[in-house]
Amino acid sequence: MNNYNNDNTARRYKAHVSLYSTTQLHLRNPYINAWWSAAFPGCGHLLLSKYLRGYSFFFWEIIVNNMSHLNLAIVYSFTGNFQMAREVLEPRVLLLYLPVYIFAIWDSYRTTVDLNKIFILAERENASFNSYAIGSVGINYLDKRSPLMAVLWSIFTPGLGQLYIHRGLTAALMLIFSIIFVYYSNALIAVHFLFLGEIKQATASLNPQWFLFIPSYFSFAVYDAYVNTVENNKLFESEQRKFLQQNYQQSPFKIPDLTR
């Protein structure tokens, strides 16, 4: 009898489907994950489904960045106002920020390399895993989804693309901080003034300290939704292929190698 539950009877599993999320291993580029950690600490770890560590870095970035006024200093630097950039910075908090920022980049790179090795081993072992979960709080299952739809929903509101592919833990974080960033940055007020043609009022209404979080955050939501939709589709095909081979393919049957 085949075992389709991740109950640690196999040494390594390449995926796990729970009521709250679909978690899987797949090959990733360590430099891309490190770049996302540089763009927004915590994002590189969320790509790896390292939720506790990713959430920790995510909250650290928001709290310490605001306390040090780093985003505001960046805006002043981009506009050539270097004196104001120096004045708004809080050096006591900034010196706390730098070591954790560097560690987040290094740790996401190191973890990606390690998980790539584990994925290769798990792929060779090819242990069966659960592809369907149902309980009192909901249902989750492997299925093929459209990467384009995941991208479109993430553009409308970060987090919706993750909900579309059953990444519930990441989706919850994305939706909560979508509200926080948009509200405190006054982004929708600025959009309202733009529609009225009041460009100066739109610019003046923005809170640059909070608004500077949005580009990296929105870009990450789109990227995460697209990549995980593609990888979920591959995982669905892999699980379906193995099920059909084990239950419907006769053992003497050999698939011909058409490449020869």
Per-residue tens of pLDDT for the chain, all 260 residues: 444 565 567 788 889 898 888 889 999 999 999 999 999 999 999 999 999 999 999 999 999 999 999 999 999 998 888 899 889 998 888 888 999 999 999 999 999 999 999 999 998 888 888 888 898 888 999 999 999 999 999 999 999 999 999 988 889 889 999 999 999 999 999 999 999 999 999 999 999 999 999 999 999 999 999 999 999 999 999 888 888 888 887 767 666 655 55
Q: Computed from CA positions of residues 117, 231, 43, 73, in that sequence, does the dihedral angle turn out positive or negative?
A: positive
Predicted pLDDT at 93: 87
Whole-angstrom Cα distance, residue 23 to residue 36?
19
pLDDT at position 48 is 93
Overall size of the chain counted in residues: 260
Q: For residue 46, what are its two tokens? A: 């969320």
Farthest-apart Cα atoms in the chain, separation: 78
- E strand intervals along the chain: 15-17, 22-24, 132-135, 138-141
Q: Is this structure's pTM higher than 0.75?
A: yes
Distance CA 39, CA 115 (A): 21
Pick from 198, 11, 44, 185: nearest CA to 110: 44
Residue whose tokens read 């390594």 = 12
Of 103, 72, 104, 77, the closest CA to residue 90 belongs to 72
Contact 22, 145 (CB under 8 A): no
